[in-house]
Amino acid sequence: MGRFRIERGIMTPADRLLFLLMVGAALAMLVLPLGGKGMGGSVVVEGAGGFRETMSLTEDAELVVPGPKGDTVVVVEAGWVRIDLSPCRHHICSRMGRISAPGRSIVCVPNQVVVMVEGEERAAIDAVTR
């Protein structure tokens, strides 16, 4: 056909650079969500009888919250918060896992404990319905 001939199977240095940048970007998208998302926010823990404690998401801590069924243990580590131990029967609150995004919460209804993450909320779409 003409003067241009395309060699198949040969990568130029620019192709290699583009490939490495794409692989690096893909790995970054996989690894970054695994870290704590708390951007210096705080955790508010409320319990029965007017108990209220505020903790920082940036400092690892453990808090024992008294309730009508017994003590609930709240743990903050690596920018995340979770309920580690609860005296309630089904342990739904401790199975909820860990949270770090502002506006999220974990609630132990039988022991009247609420764990809320406060901070600057990001504009994100949670769901769309029609």
- In CATH terms, the fold of domain 42-118 is mini-chromosome maintenance (MCM) complex, domain 2 (2.60.320)
Chunk the chain into consecutive blocks of 10 residues (it has 130) and report each block's average pLDDT, rounded to whole numbers: 66 83 79 52 92 93 94 94 93 92 92 90 60
What tens digit of pLDDT does each residue of 31-45 get? 655 444 445 689 999
* pTM for this entry: 0.64
SS3 state at 127: coil
104 three-class SS: coil
Domain range summary for the chain, segments of one domain joined by + = 42-118
Three-state DSSP state, 32:
helix
> Could you tell me the CA-to-CA distances from 93 to 36, 49, 78 in Å, in that order?
20, 20, 19
